[in-house]
Structure 1
């Protein structure tokens, strides 16, 4: 069965976005070792999950990257990888290589995990990831801890209504200041 992996940028104090979704606190000048790790994580997956609220910004950003950009090869991966948008309100997909999941969250996740292929990566948004955590659907957590405290904003653990024990897989600090904490659900 395929694993569902979370890759999320987070502040030291546990926020994934500012109060209005701001990401201006994130470290953007990633070092080559962290870029290699992100590439490995991306290459181990062949499906991306997105919540409806994050989809438009995610899709528009990656589809707009130009061939002369240093991000272009990664952008092609993001555009060409199939993306599943979890929504109750959209009637048609947004962007290239996207489809909609409109059914029960647990059923939709189990259906995806049972499919043949590589693992699945989820990038967000905050409410969608919170629901995945609450439902114990995430198998591997990759927390990209940025060296900043923003003191208010959006969190992904607020819906968790029970203790969830994790096993530490690795802790890796990078030159850019980000530390990746990698855990598996016990």
Structure 2
């Protein structure tokens, strides 16, 4: 069975994006160490899963000459990776190696997990995290915890239908910037 991981940047108060979808708060903190970590992750050959909003943001940046110049290692990995976008409204997904799935999210991910292939990673895309977490389809959660809080924003588990999601700490990594990588798996 294919492994499904979530990788997301969050604030101390659990937001993955600020008001109006703003994520610039993370870029203000990230240093060389985190960039190297991102480069390694982008080259892991994991299939990338997105909701529509994150897909459109990523597809609007990573294939551009600016991305290739500013962050060539990550851009190369992102552009080469298999990408799957879940959307009922998106008409097409033109970023290379992208499959658009309009079916039921949970049923589609259950099918993907059963198919042969390597690991899958949800990047950003909070809209698909909560429904997949509620169905116990996520095998690992990797959160880059930024040392700041926002007055408002969108929580990573926005819309979680169950009362409680129990996770068990698997690993940590502290970066010089103060960002902490927290790796969790569902508690048994």
Cα RMSD for the two superposed structures = 1.9
Match of 1:25 in 2: 25
Question: What is the number of residues matched between the two proteins?
Answer: 185
Instruction: Measure, in 1, the Cα distance between the counterparts of 2:59 and 2:130.
Output: 21
Question: TM-score, structure 2 length as denominator?
Answer: 0.89
Where does residue 97 of structure 1 map in the other structure? Answer: 97
Bigger CA drift: 107-116 or 4-13?
A: 107-116
Structure 2 CA distance, aligned partners of 1:116 and 1:170? 27
Matched residue, 2:169: 168
**Which structure 1 segments of 5+ residues have no match?**
none
**What is the rounded CA distance, in whole Å, between the counterparts of 1:135 and 1:173 in structure 2?**
30
Distance of 1:182 and 1:153 partners within structure 2: 22
Q: 1:106-121 alignment to 2 at 5 Å?
A: 106-121=106-121
- Greater mean deviation of Cα atoms: 41-50 or 56-65: 41-50
Per the TM alignment, residue 114 of structure 1 is displaced from its structure 2 partner at its CA by 1.6
Q: Which moved more, 1:63-72 or 1:133-142?
A: 63-72
Structure 2: 5+ residue runs without aligned partners?
Answer: none
Deviation, structure 1 residue 128:
2.1
Q: 1:133: Cα distance to partner?
A: 2.3
- Report runs of 4+ in structure 1 exceeding 3 Å deviation: 34-45, 65-68
**TM-score scaled to structure 1, two decimals?**
0.90
SS in 2 for 1:69: helix
**Cross-structure match for 1:180:** 181
Is the 1:55–1:94 Cα contact (8 Å) retained in structure 2? no
